[in-house]
Structure 1
Amino acid sequence: MASTKRFLKLAELWPEDALNRSLNLRTVLAEQASNLENKSLTSKLPRPESQVEAIEELLENKSKKMFPLTSRLMEPKGKPTYYKELEEQLTEGPSPPSMWQKVRAFVTNTPAA
């Protein structure tokens, strides 16, 4: 099926999520492709062709090209460096847990955030 091949190709092209490696769109797309191969699940899935087109538009940054961000929007008067700092934090990835978070996780027997 053509949709299955397109889903698998999109899964390969999708960039890795640096913030949440445990839940990645690549694996979701691969699962979607395997669901398309299963005849009983295919009838329950919403239109796979429109899903593929939407994901392709995301990969191509179609909305970003149609609606470019202006400096007025990206540098608000209240805190002009806000979005630049946010972008830096996102590109660095998650920081390791602090000592307090480790102690709290140990005491409560939960994973450290």
Structure 2
Amino acid sequence: MSGAARNVAANHFRGALTRWPKDALRPDCQLQDVLAKRLQKTALAPSTGGATQEQADLKQANALYSLLQDRYKNRYRAPEKLFEPRSNPTYYKDLLKELEEAPHRSWLGRLAKRLSGMIRFT
């Protein structure tokens, strides 16, 4: 791959990585860090048989941008009733609430949550 083509693909990757949201659940392992290490290597994408390396790199950068823009969520909308199962209608709302609270929970709060999950009163 030529140097100019590699710079174009690397710039697209950097643009996508600067906009990528931080993961609050795993602050020590971020997608941005992993992909930034890939930028330092000679090839961004694994080599493919038919396409050139430049095309493969640009396809991967396009995939990052499509995930950032929620193209697939907007294109393939799921019906609302899918998010409210009959057996537990608040399951997904409770899951989102738990994911928002988990990064801010103290050590004692995590221990209490773990113990309450082990002991169930029926």
- Whether TM exceeds 0.5 here: the answer is yes
Q: Which of 67, 70, 74 pairs up with 1:58?
A: 67
Q: Which of 76, 93, 98 pairs up with 2:108?
A: 98
* Cα 1:9/1:93, change in 2 over 3 Å: farther
TM-score (norm 1): 0.73
User: How far off its partner does 1:31 sit?
Assistant: 1.7
CA contact (8 A) 1:3 1:52 kept: yes
One-letter amino acid matched to 2:27: R
Aligned to 2:13: 7
In structure 1, the gaps of 5 or more residues are 36-40, 102-113
TM-score (norm 2): 0.68
* Cα 1:100/1:69, change in 2 over 3 Å: closer
1:24 aligns with 2:30: yes
Q: Which of 49, 69, 76 pairs up with 2:85?
A: 76
Aligned to 1:67: 76
Aligned to 2:117: none
Residues in 1 aligned to 2:13 and 2:99: alpha-carbon distance in whole angstroms: 27
Residues in 2 aligned to 1:58 and 1:72: alpha-carbon distance in whole angstroms: 24
In structure 2, the gaps of 5 or more residues are 1-6, 47-55, 112-122
User: How far off its partner does 1:99 sit?
Assistant: 8.0
CA contact (8 A) 1:7 1:32 kept: no
> What's the % identity of the aligned pairs?
29
CA contact (8 A) 2:45 2:60 kept: no
One-letter amino acid matched to 2:20: W
Residues in 1 aligned to 2:59 and 2:16: alpha-carbon distance in whole angstroms: 13
